[in-house]
Amino acid sequence: MTTTMIATLLLVGVFLALVFLRVPVVYAIGTSSLLVFFYLGINPMQMALRFVTNLNSYTLLAVPFFILMGELMGAGGVTETLIDFSRELVGWIRGGAAMVNVVASFFFGGISGSSSADCASLGPIEIKMMEEQGYDRAFSTCLTMASSVEGILVPPSQNMVIYTLAAAGVTSVSIGQLFLAGYVPGAVLSIVLMIYSYYYSKKMNIPVTGKFNLIACIKSLGRAIWGLLAVLIVVVGVITGVFTTTESAACAVVWSLVVGLFIYKGFKLRDIPNIFHNVTMTLGKVLILIGVSGSFTYLLTYLKVPTMVSTALFNLTDNKIVILIMLNILMLVLGCLVEMACLILMLTPVILPIWMSLGLSPIHLGIVMVLNLGIGLLTPPVGSTLFIGSAISGIRIEKLAKKMIPFYAVMGIALLILTYFPQSFMWLPEMMM
């Protein structure tokens, strides 16, 4: 066995072994990388250099602003206004409470950019609302968790920013195009969840409540628009070229602060230090992960792992459909075991060259990868959104995971649509940019 093969097995094997032993993923990455550096005789100072290099990115400055924007909007009272607007918009349809759950997550996802934040903020309100209309608590919780994945597809999403950083070593990816590409996939996921919710409501004979009222709908939109404007500032600013991603995110933070303090009045000046504390804790985890993963991705490139994986796949088959299935399975399986941001950083340099060799766009891979890993957030053993759903509902994780099986299937349908029919969403970034 060659030195390269042994080093590759050591890197991947030690990492996976530590993950299975429930060692924090940052330590798993660092330990496996350091061992391989020593094995290959590379100066360990390269590890520190890669840490700094990975964090030395102007684009990365947008991440703390997006996290802060989500915290300010969540604390500012935007949650209730979005649920009220969603209720007026779709609450009168059969399965209205479930529909409201899905639509509210679509809107809130554009503000929070996080599945976990979506589930934690909207979950208690939505689950109670659905139970009052006759839905089972487990179904309500599962739908809340599934719809929260819209939050990482609908822009602005910090995970998409991280993807552009990870792809930079292979090709340049426009964050504006990636943001625009996220809207239709978010809508596709919403539609398949709403169809399943309609089927479930009809099967369980959940009564229809209320009627559509155009005036009430316009009034509720008027209250919700202040929060939604933060998203428009980011997306419109980036695609028109008025702002860079970082500048638009900073402007959105200022707007979110004004809205939370003076319009929705959800928090006061004395609450701001606590909000910044939450942001700092979240940001610290993200930045350490990005920094440490620099050495891991450096070793993957040094050992030519992308080339090895690509050669192995094309030796098995040259059928594009089969290769895409295998890549999706790889992302789904690893998404069940490792945190999302970490996997984006590690998998992108490996999968992107294969993806592009099939004649597919890196924007397409960004969407498919985010949805794949988003499903991983809902699966044991490390699904953070699954843990949050269990905490807010009081239902054991094992029971929730079992009840999630139909939702996995429904989300799988959305994944297949986005994988094999990229023009279903690629038309928007191509037309606008």
pLDDT in tens, 123-173: 888 888 888 888 999 999 999 999 999 988 988 788 888 898 888 878 888
Using alpha carbons, list the distances in angstroms from residue 313 to 201, 317, 354: 43, 6, 9
Our CA dihedral for 145, 424, 347, 163, rounded to 10 degrees, sits at -80
Helix, strand, coil % (nearest 5) of the chain? Answer: 80, 0, 20
**Other Cβ atoms within 10 Å of 81 Cβ, number:** 24
Q: Tell me how many domains the chain contains.
A: 1
Indicate if the pLDDT at residue 364 is higher than 90.
yes
Compute the mean pLDDT over every residue in the chain, rounded to the nearest whole number.
Answer: 86
CA end-to-end span of the chain: 49
Domain residue limits at 47: 43-432
Name the DSSP class of 169: T
Comparing 119-123, 278-282, 362-366, which segment has the lowest mean pLDDT?
119-123
Identify the pLDDT of residue 417.
Answer: 95
Place of tokens 């004004």: 258
Residue 76 within a domain: yes
* Mean pLDDT to the nearest integer, 221-228: 87
Residue 403 within a domain: yes
Residue 177 within a domain: yes
Cα 78–chain centre separation: 20
Residue 21 within a domain: no
Residue 36 within a domain: no
Name the DSSP class of 93: S
Residue 28 within a domain: no
Residue 312 within a domain: yes
Q: Give the pLDDT confidence of 232-261 residue by residue, as tens digits.
A: 888 888 777 788 888 888 888 899 899 888
Residue 130 within a domain: yes
Identify the pLDDT of residue 433.
Answer: 64
| CA–CA gap between residue 221 and residue 241 (Å, rounded) | 28
Q: Give the pLDDT confidence of 391-402 residue by residue, as tens digits.
A: 888 888 888 889
